[in-house]
Amino acid sequence: MTRAAVLGAGSWGTTFAKVLADAGCSVSLHARRPELVATITASRENADYLPGVRLPDAVRATGDAAEALDGADVVVLAVPSQTLRANLTDWAPLLPPDSSLLSLMKGVELGTTKRMSEVIREVTGAGADRVAALSGPNLAREIAEEQPSATVIACSDDDRAAALQAACHTRYFRPYTNPDLVGCELGGAVKNVIALACGVAAGLGFGDNTRASLITRGLAETARLGIALGADVTTFAGLAGLGDLVATCSSPLSRNRTFGEHLGQGMSVAEVEQITRQTAEGVKSCRSVLDLARAHGVDVPITEAVVRVCHEGESAAQMVREMMSREAKPE
């Protein structure tokens, strides 16, 4: 039986722990707060992040990272992207030597502009063949409710990708494999930024034409950046590109879209953060995505607009005016 450790007990980490258990794995779910560990153990439910969903008996909650990682074949990293380096610095000495390191995170590190797999390799010293990323249209609540969904596992090692694929394949969750780690990670990171823009548009009262335009042009700037970084452009037409982008930009379950909608309704970033409990990765990652694009000379106008609203005090209405008044260009 495959032993898996999931580090991070938010909504997606908890949901993926359930997926792994339903696929036949023995799962340790690591949570920082002792009270959350106690609640999950007693009630078989993560009421803070995934209320109403019973976790399988094969999921065991623990607050001890060493206990969670002991003997793990698969280590799943499911913490907010900007906290990965600090957390992983503590966990690295505990990692089993040949364990697969699977990232569920969708972000680009502030300051370094590194993708999550790059941070993992840098902190742990793991070879590229051990590091993988999972990305796709994976809204946690729907998957926890066992609604059919597909995803992509990206890894340079085909055999390891296939093993990870088998470890999380259930009757409701279908993973595909893809060797393009760069493209899959970028698709997951940039779509959060585009979803913020779609949320802003919804908050301003705009409809389907606006959202479709933002999704399409957002996909174009994601692909431009991906090509500059060596990604396979076809990745962006798949689950980790267009699939993830459509779900995140359209669903009320999307944290980034919902955050953007509040901004479009006139709230400040600080005000939205006060009323939301979960992390909207795009709010922080938009700056690192923009830094990454500028370092490679890539034009990302939607990302630039989101940065202005989230970090430079520009109003949502002004953002729209500036975007629509940009110089017209060929598609």
Q: Which amino acids are annotated catalytic? A: 191
Strand partners of residue 153: 134, 177
Which CA distances in Å does 8 have to 87, 151, 280, 296?
10, 19, 15, 32
**Which tokens hold the place of 163?**
């093993």
Residues annotated in the binding site for NADPH, as ranges?
11-12, 32-33, 49, 106, 140, 255, 281
Helix (H, G, I), strand (E, B) or coil at 117: helix
Residues annotated in the binding site for NAD(+), as ranges?
8-13, 140, 255
Which CA distances in Å does 256 have to 158, 234, 249, 278?
32, 25, 8, 10
Q: Which residues contact 267 (CB under 8 A, 6 or more apart)?
A: none
- Taking the C-alpha atoms of 306, 311, 312 and 318 in order, what is their torsion angle to the nearest 10 degrees? 30
Cα 257–chain centre separation: 13
**Which tokens hold the place of 250?**
């359209």
Which CA distances in Å does 289 have to 21, 171, 210, 268, 284?
34, 35, 22, 21, 9
Q: Is 312 left (phi over 0), alpha (psi -120 to 50) or beta?
A: alpha
